[in-house]
Amino acid sequence: MAGFLLPSRLPHSFSPAQLHLPGLAHLDLTGNRLTQLPASLSRCTKLASLLLGHNEKLLARGLDQPTLDLLAALPALRQLELPRSAARLPSQATEVCARLAAVAPHISEETFARY
């Protein structure tokens, strides 16, 4: 399985339009300053694991529809680690998991990064 680890501290404007890695299976974006997921990520159709922990601005206002749509478009995605900001309270975590299950039932493991 192909994996890819991007260096920590990417600029918040990271937009890998060149991210055309259809065989990519694991992507670790932990510890960056991402504010949104690049739409080009949807081209990574074999992506099974996506780690987004410690990107606190990424989902600070919750799981928006464009992000849900992008995650739903990744048919092989099974493991998803979200930033802690996506669910600061247990009730928010339940809501995020329910929303993910509704649009992306193929994701079998959702976790929230710990501080």
The tokens of 57 are what?
Answer: 């601005």
Cα–Cα distance measured from residue 1 to residue 24, given in angstroms and rounded to the nearest whole number: 7
> What is the enclosing helix (H) or strand (E) of 71?
helix 65-72
Find the mean pLDDT for residues 76-102: 88
pLDDT for 115:
57
Find the mean pLDDT for residues 11-37: 74
DSSP string, 92-105: HHHHHHHHHHHH-T
CB–CB of 4/26 below 8 Å?
yes
| Residue 46 clears pLDDT 90, i.e. is over it | yes
Overall pTM surpassing 0.85 (yes/no):
no
CATH of domain 2-8+20-112: 3.80.10.10
